[in-house]
Amino acid sequence: MQQIPEVLLSFVSYKQTIQNRSALTVKQYAGDLEMFFRFVLWQRSGKPMDECDFSAVDEEFVKSVKSGDIYAFLLYLSQQRGDNSRTIARKLSAIKSFFKYHSAKTHIVTENPARDIDAPQIRPALPKYMSLDESVGLLDTVDPASPDYARDYCILTLFLNCGMRLSELVGIDLTDIDSDLSKLRVTGKGSKMRIVYLNESCRDAISAYLPVRSERSSKCRVPLAADSKNALFLSKRNRRISPQTVEWLVYKYIDRAGLGGRGLSTHKLRHTAATLMYNEGGVDVLTLKDILGHEQLSTTQIYTHVSDKKLQSAMDANPLSRRGRKKNVKAEDKSQ
C-alpha cells in the first residue's frame, strides 16, 4: 500500500481541523487530488496511472506543477473520462484549494499555477423532488404492522417536514429535543448548530416513536452501546442508526411507493421539503434559507424552482389583472 504524501496529509488535516470541513468533503478532496497527481505522474513517466508511485509526490514535485498540467488534466476529464461540468469544477476546486494552501500557508509554492484557471460554467439543474401526493403516498407505504413502523415513519416525517440532511438526522440525540417537542437542535455542515421547529406531524411521530424506542432497546439481546445511549434513532442492533441504513430504508420505501428509477434519495427528500414549503406553503426564500441551514442565499434559490401554478397565481395577483378593455361604443353602434 502506497504511503499518502505528506503534502497532501497536511492539506487535508488543515481542511478538517482548521476549516472544519466534513469528513466526506475531505475524502472527496483527497480522492480528487490523488487522481490529479497520478495523472501528472502518468504524463511524465508513461506508466499507467494506477501503477504510478503516488508517494513520489513531495514538495519538489508540487513545485514543478505548472498551469499546463492542470489544463491537460481538465481536458483529460472532459474528453477521455467524459466527466460533466459539475464534476470537473469540483476537481478543479480541490486543486485550486490545495495550491492556495501551499502558497499562502506553507509557502511551498511561490507561484500558484491554479490561481488564474477558470472553472467551467455550470448550469444549475432543477432538483428532483416529489409532489405533495407522492410524499403522502411515501408515508403511507410504511407498514403499521412492522416492528420498525414508528421509527421509519418518524424518519420519513422529519425528512419531509424539516428538510434535514442525512447527517443531521442520524446525529440527533434525545437531549437535542425539547421536553415539549416544540423544537430540536441539529448539527449541520461545519459543526454549526441550528434550531429546527417541529410541526404537529413531527411531534406526533416523535411522541409515538419514543416509547417504542425505549421498549425495543430494553428488550434487545444486544446491550445498548455506550456511545449510542443518547441517540434518537437506533438500529436493530441497539446502536445509533447509520447513514447507510437510513439510505437503505428510504430507497426501500421509495421503491414500494412506485417512485423508483427517478433518482430519488434521502437528499431528494430534503429537496421535497424545501419545494413543498416554498410552492405549497408560501414560505419566503430568506426564511427557507434559515430552515435549511444554508450560508448563501444562492444555494437556497436552487431549491425554490417555481411551479407553473405559482407563476400563474403571481400573474393573477396583479391588481390590473381584472381590469377590462374599454369598449369602443361608437364603433359598435355603427356596426349595428
Residue 273 in domain: yes
pTM of the model: 0.63
pLDDT of 332: 52
CATH number at residue 279: 1.10.443.10
Please check whether residue 254 lies inside any domain of the structure.
Answer: yes
Given the residues 239, 267, 305, 310, the one annotated as active site: 267
What pLDDT is recorded for position 335?
52
Let me know if residue 267 belongs to a domain. yes
Given a contact cutoff of 8 angstroms between Cβ atoms, the answer to whether 112 and 246 are in contact is: no
Question: Which residue's C-alpha cell is 425505549?
Answer: 214
Annotated active-site residue 102? The verdict is: no
Give per-residue pLDDT as tens, 125-142: 667 889 999 999 999 999
Name beta bridge partners: 197: 183
> Among the options 165, 213, 240, 271, which is catalytic?
165
Same domain for 138 and 270, yes or no, is yes
Among candidate residues 38, 213, 270, 289, the one labeled active-site is 270
Active site residue 270: yes
Q: How many domains does the chain have?
A: 2
Domain of residue 290: give its range: 132-313
Task: Report the alpha-carbon distance of residue 155 to residue 148 in Å, rounded.
Answer: 11
The DSSP call for residue 308 is H
Instruction: Identify whether 92 is part of a domain.
Output: yes
Whether 244 and 231 have beta carbons less than 8 Å apart is answered as no
Which whole-number Å values give the CA distances from 96 to 36, 61, 79, 266, in the listed order? 12, 16, 21, 30
Cell 452501546 maps to which residue? Answer: 225
The C-alpha atoms of residue 318 and residue 101 are separated, in whole angstroms, by 52
Say whether both 219 and 307 belong to one domain: yes
Active site residue 213: no
Assess if residue 292 is contained within a domain. yes
Domain boundary pick from 84, 104, 124? 104
In a domain, 318, yes or no: no
- In the set 90, 128, 189, 252, the catalytic residue is 189
Helices and strands: H and E segment counts in the chain: 15, 2
Same domain flag for 82 and 140: no
Total number of residues shown for the chain: 336
Same structural domain, 68 and 20? yes
Q: Is 323 a catalytic residue?
A: no
Judge whether 185 lies within some domain. Answer: yes
Q: State which residues of the chain have pLDDT below 50.
A: 1, 306
> Residue 87 burial (CB < 10 Å; 0-12/13-18/19+)?
middle
For residue 148, the 8-state DSSP code is T
Own/partner long-range contacts of 233-240 (Cβ < 8 Å, ≥24 apart): 233/151, 233/154, 233/155, 233/169, 233/170, 233/172, 234/151, 236/148, 240/170
- Residue 70 sits in a domain whose CATH number is 1.10.150
Specify whether the CB–CB gap between 57 and 7 falls below 8 A: yes
Using an 8 Å Cβ cutoff, are 225 and 239 in contact? yes
174 and 261 share one domain: yes
In the set 96, 268, 289, 294, the catalytic residue is 294
Looking at the structure, do residues 148 and 289 belong to the same domain, yes or no?
yes
Q: Cβ(219)–Cβ(211) under 8 Å?
A: no
Say if 321 falls within a structural domain.
no
